[in-house]
Amino acid sequence: MTTSPPEYLEKNNLSEDGMKLLSILPKEKGWLGSYAYNYQGFWVPQKFLQAVIAFQQQFQAQDSDIILVTTPKSGTTWLKSLLFALVNRVKHPILEPNHPLLIENPHVLVPFLEHTLYFDGRTDDISTFTSPRLLATHVPFASLPKSVQVSKSKLVYLCRNPRDTFISMWHFTNSLLPDHKEADSIEEMFNLFCKGVSLYGPFWNHVLDYWKKSIEKPNKILFLMYEEIKKKPKIQLKRLADFLECPFSIEEENSGVVDDILNMCSFENLSNLEVNRNGKFSTGEAYKVFFRRGEIGDWKNYFTIEMCNKLNHIVEEKFQGSGLKFSYV
């Protein structure tokens, strides 16, 4: 287990109330080289607790908001780019040479609420953002601010099979450690993941809550899966456009706009752009850590039979009767 998290993960802007809260919340040493706290039933890194609370207390949803919700490492960066391209396709035609997605990272164009807009005591006036506001969060459904739940804002939820999610998360957190030193061992992190201790986890609670809500409220929440977008990208992008009430016209379909969006947002294209190869957040992390392989099935290069059996057992038990099935290939 690492003992020296990078500054980005250590910095901690907790108020007095936040410090009091920390002293009573259950905690585990784990992901991201520092403690994770069990807040309202989910695990949040110490670093982001204050921002999650600020988001809950201060955010006022607007009816036109589009909020992307994901389990970390399920393809958020990809879906942010697809959402941005789709919703802004009149203002920014896909083939324009200076399309914002060609010169800016998707996380800048579709910012995280708790990781960016409410992070570290920031007080951006987000009420003035151009409508529809495109925003993102990892917070579980039950912990979303009330205004998100009661407004007509739309939630787009993305998840990915737990094996690839785990492997991607393990690589990601290790890649944030300085010089990749003192990397967390896969066994240790896997045991934590199985115990439910993962970023914004337990994974199964996060996914199941949104899955059930998407069935109850199909006009409010669209449930997407990484593997389905990979396998049938056109169908899933059209589903997304229909859900957001900006369907593709026949003319657009005939002129190839759907393919143009998919090509622009492909792993190959985005990961090779100068901005994503060499750009950085103001906090110092490189954009390139969000682009690794972008495939289904990398788990096969890491999982032992025991790991498969252990996770299968948990997934079968947790998702039994839900109707939700993951694809691993």
Catalytic residue ranges: 138
CB of 86 to ligand A3P, least distance (A): 14
* Piece of 14-22, 71-79, 213-221, 249-257 that binds ligand A3P (CB under 6 A): 71-79
CB of 153 to ligand A3P, least distance (A): 21
Binding residue (CB under 6 A) for ligand A3P from 264, 270, 307, 311? 270
Residues that contact ligand A3P, how many (by CB under 6 A): 21
Pick one of 8, 129, 267, 319: the residue that binds ligand A3P (CB under 6 A). Answer: 267
Distance from C-alpha of 205 to C-alpha of 261, rounded to nearest angstrom: 32
Residue from the set 118, 203, 291, 303 that interacts with ligand A3P by CB under 6 A: 291
Choose the binding region for ligand A3P from 53-61, 122-130, 214-222, 285-293 (rule: CB under 6 A).
285-293
- Residue 23 to residues 1, 19, 39, 289, Cα–Cα distance (Å): 22, 6, 12, 32
Map the footprint of ligand A3P across residues 179-238, applying CB under 6 A: none
Nearer to ligand A3P among residue 27 and residue 239 (C-beta): 239
* Span from 73-81, 149-157, 203-211, 255-263 in contact with ligand A3P (CB under 6 A): 73-81
Residue 21 or 228 with smaller CB distance to ligand A3P: 228
Residues 121-180 that bind ligand A3P (CB under 6 A): 164, 168, 171
Which residue in the set 73, 115, 154, 163 belongs to the binding site for ligand A3P (CB under 6 A)? 73
Which of 113, 148, 265, 307: binder of ligand A3P (CB under 6 A)?
265
- Residue 108 burial by CB count (10 A; 0-12/13-18/19+): exposed, middle or buried? middle
Per DSSP bridges, beta strands 35-39 and 42-45 are antiparallel
Which residue, 71 or 88, has its beta carbon nearer to ligand A3P?
Answer: 71
Among 118, 203, 243, 290, binds ligand A3P (CB under 6 A): 290
Smaller CB distance to ligand A3P: residue 2 or 71? 71
What is the spatial distance between Cα 240 and Cα 222, in angstroms, rounded to a whole number?
A: 8
293 lies in the site for ligand A3P, by CB under 6 A = yes
Instruction: Please pick, from the candidates 74, 88, 116, 236, the single residue that binds ligand A3P as defined by CB under 6 A.
Output: 74
**Omega cis (within 30) before 132:** yes
The tally of CA atoms less than 13 A away on the side-chain side of residue 27 is 15
Task: By CB under 6 A, name the binding residues for ligand A3P.
Answer: 70, 72-78, 164, 168, 171, 265-267, 270, 290-294, 298
